[in-house]
Structure 1
């Protein structure tokens, strides 16, 4: 029985500490949202304090996350700033996006096996994790005389033609692709450009890899 009691105490303390940290984070979040809203409306602390019926010092402490705010005070502040309580808490505790933006012309240029002049690959997203899920490339070709290699690798591949016309081989079949066409295939089957019909050619190539 004493062992159970001893095991229970640290869990309770840890829970209280986590609750305290969470409250601190919530207060800072509330303060940041209210401050951003006030500044966006070009209002001073004194303006908001007067509209909300609170002291200037209290509004300042709330914005800086220094006090635990009552629901009544929050309602006064949100009303003064034209917010609802649901809007105030909309982004609280939501996961971070972790999005990746590659601006036009900033894709990393890479060299693929067998490629030569007039055939460039720009990688449009860079893998940050251990597992590779997909690879998106912007591929440009402008040399009709170039001899192209045959590719064969894991995953499914999706091509979307942006410009030009190309004959593209997949296995024993040759397909003519032009602007606006979408082409999906098993990348384990040998594939690659057969003939450049109308240059310049640009297309998106996205390889999706299966989970291990």
Structure 2
């Protein structure tokens, strides 16, 4: 299994693979309550050899790995299943930790929390949690590139898009083109909370 370089040194990649295989075999053996002697006897290798395999001190053949997998009740593919999986890069924003932003014309009773940010120079989408709690506020209309999706969480609102007005209650959703004038028309029941997700097919312009 192990490859060597021109000077006879084992490659770093092979060491990483042997450590992964060794750790996986040990974890499976311990999970099933088996001793090194139990597994070594089933596979037909010495206890010392199995110990070396688990500690990445030696390479072994695919035939032996297949026997080890069988003794541990898994397939050979299972031993390699989680090897070399790319690192995750998900962004977690905890409750009440969204970045508060101010959009043009919204000064009071209208709060935007951006739920994902730092996405690089080209933004593909922006998800907002929007809260409204002042019925006397006069809301501006908005226009922006892309498509917007709204999902009502709490309260009730009349929302205008172009020449049409829509009544939104909890559980309702609305999808529309962002380049057509839109915005809250009337706050029906306070407080109001809804998710607004803007998807950009092209780079958004700065307001």
* Other-structure match for 2:71: 80
Work out which of the residue numbers 124, 127, 130 in structure 2 matches 1:136.
127
Cα 1:85/1:177, change in 2 over 3 Å: same
Distance in 2, Cα, partners of 1:64 & 1:128: 40
Work out which of the residue numbers 34, 49, 63 in structure 1 matches 2:25.
34
* Other-structure match for 1:116: 107
1:118-140 Cα offsets, whole Å, 9 max, x none, are 32222222233332111111112
1:39-50 matches, cutoff 5 A: 39-41=30-32, 45=36, 48-50=39-41
* Other-structure match for 2:195: 204
* Other-structure match for 2:89: 98
Work out which of the residue numbers 60, 65, 72 in structure 1 matches 2:51.
60
1:136-168 Cα offsets, whole Å, 9 max, x none, are 111121221222222222211111112211011
Alpha-carbon deviation of 1:186? 1.2
* Other-structure match for 1:152: 143
Distance in 2, Cα, partners of 1:47 & 1:38: 9
Q: State the TM-score, normalized to the length of structure 2.
A: 0.79
Cα 1:89/1:121, change in 2 over 3 Å: same
Cα 1:118/1:42, change in 2 over 3 Å: farther
2:110–2:131 Cα contact (<8 Å) kept: yes
Alpha-carbon deviation of 1:96? 3.3
Q: Unmatched 5+ residue regions in structure 2?
A: none
2:116–2:127 Cα contact (<8 Å) kept: yes
1:76-113 Cα offsets, whole Å, 9 max, x none, are 32233322112222233443332223333332333333
Bigger shift: 69-78 or 21-30? 21-30
* Cα RMSD, aligned residues only: 3.0
1:39-78 Cα offsets, whole Å, 9 max, x none, are 4445555554455444444333323333222123212322
Query: Helix, strand or coil: the match of 1:113?
Result: coil
Query: Helix, strand or coil: the match of 1:198?
Result: strand
Work out which of the residue numbers 172, 185, 192 in structure 2 matches 1:181.
172
2:159–2:168 Cα contact (<8 Å) kept: yes
Alpha-carbon deviation of 1:38? 3.6
- Structure with greater proportional helix content: 1
Distance in 1, Cα, partners of 2:117 & 2:152: 22
